[in-house]
Amino acid sequence: MRIRRSLLDLDDLDADELAYIFERTAAFERKPPGPLLKGVACVNVFFEASTRTFTSFNLAQLRLGADVINLSPRDLSLSTKGETVEDTAVTLAAMGIGVLVVRHPEVGFPQRVAMCFDGHVVNAGDGGHAHPTQALLDIYTLIDEFRNLANRTVAIVGDVEHSRVAHSTIRGLHRLGAKVVLVGPESFLPAGYAREGVVVERDFDAILPHADAVVLLRIQRERFAEMPMTDEEYIAGYRLDERRLQTLRPEAIVMHPGPYNRGMELDESVLDYAGWRYLKQVRNGVCIRMAVLDFLVNGGR
């Protein structure tokens, strides 16, 4: 079997490839490309809920002229007839499916699929592990704002431990020279990052005046049994609200991968803040995914 290019996490891309994907994204934004994926069959299979990622992969594929099939996990023989993941992947490839976009609650599931699928696999989120296309669109949004990320301070706030977005984004930002500060209660801050030169900070108020960008995270309650603190305690320490917004630098931006929970990690004043970039992130998600699909299927420069 040929091993084709897949995107399972950000580390699969070297610096040139990252730059190439960002260049293509910008080009696609300026001018929609032609049917670069004409005749390529893409299957999207999401074993977990998704609004933004699912819709934007669909849109990206349709805009590139691909043939798009959305499989509902409950209709798969994998779920009800005892077929293995590996046999499912081989079967889909035999039909000529070229691209599989997979989201699954199990860490490493897309990797398992990629090992036996004779096509391209894109990880659309595996458990609390990785979400490379969200990281790409977040980093692209930051570059669009600041051009060069070297020495820019990006505070990633909240449930870092259980956020696959944060894990992928931290890697990418670190590689691009940004100063990454993880902010949250101790139980939400993975210990390992401090060893990699990432700053870990408990005090949200202390970091706000120094941040160029604040990336808020949802508490990923689906990934742990019991909240390690009360909601009130979390809100007191980490909710971005009007008072905290006023302590930001005037040019600082606020981002969120979505979905955001009003009243928890942010209050409504954030949605009116001039530097709130959530909708820009969502918009960028379509062209980023077009660029990733084109890169995997058609190759880079």
- By beta-carbon proximity to ligand ASP, the closer residue of 131 and 289 is 131
Determine contact, residues 208/174, Cβ cutoff 8 Å: no
CB of 164 to ligand ASP, least distance (A): 5
- By beta-carbon proximity to ligand ASP, the closer residue of 184 and 257 is 257
- By beta-carbon proximity to ligand ASP, the closer residue of 40 and 137 is 137
Residue in this structure with the two tokens 């954030």, named with its chain if needed: 270
CB of 189 to ligand ASP, least distance (A): 17
CB of 125 to ligand ASP, least distance (A): 4
Beta-carbon contacts of residue 170 (< 8 Å; ≥ 6 apart): 156, 160, 180, 182, 193, 198
From 257, 277, 282, 286, residue interacting with ligand ASP (rule: CB under 6 A): 257
The residues facing 46 across adjacent strands are 103
Residue 110 interacts with ligand ASP (CB under 6 A)?
A: no
Determine contact, residues 292/21, Cβ cutoff 8 Å: yes
Residue 253 interacts with ligand ASP (CB under 6 A)?
A: no
Within positions 187 to 226, which residues make up the interface with ligand ASP, using CB under 6 A? Answer: 218
Q: 10 Å Cβ neighbour count for 181?
A: 19
CB of 258 to ligand ASP, least distance (A): 6
**DSSP sequence for 140-192:** HHHHHHHS--TT-EEEEES--TT-HHHHHHHHHHHHTT-EEEEES-GGGS-GG
Classified as helix, coil or strand, 133 is helix
From 131, 152, 277, 289, residue interacting with ligand ASP (rule: CB under 6 A): 131
Site residues for ligand ASP per CB under 6 A: 125, 131, 134, 164-165, 218, 257-258
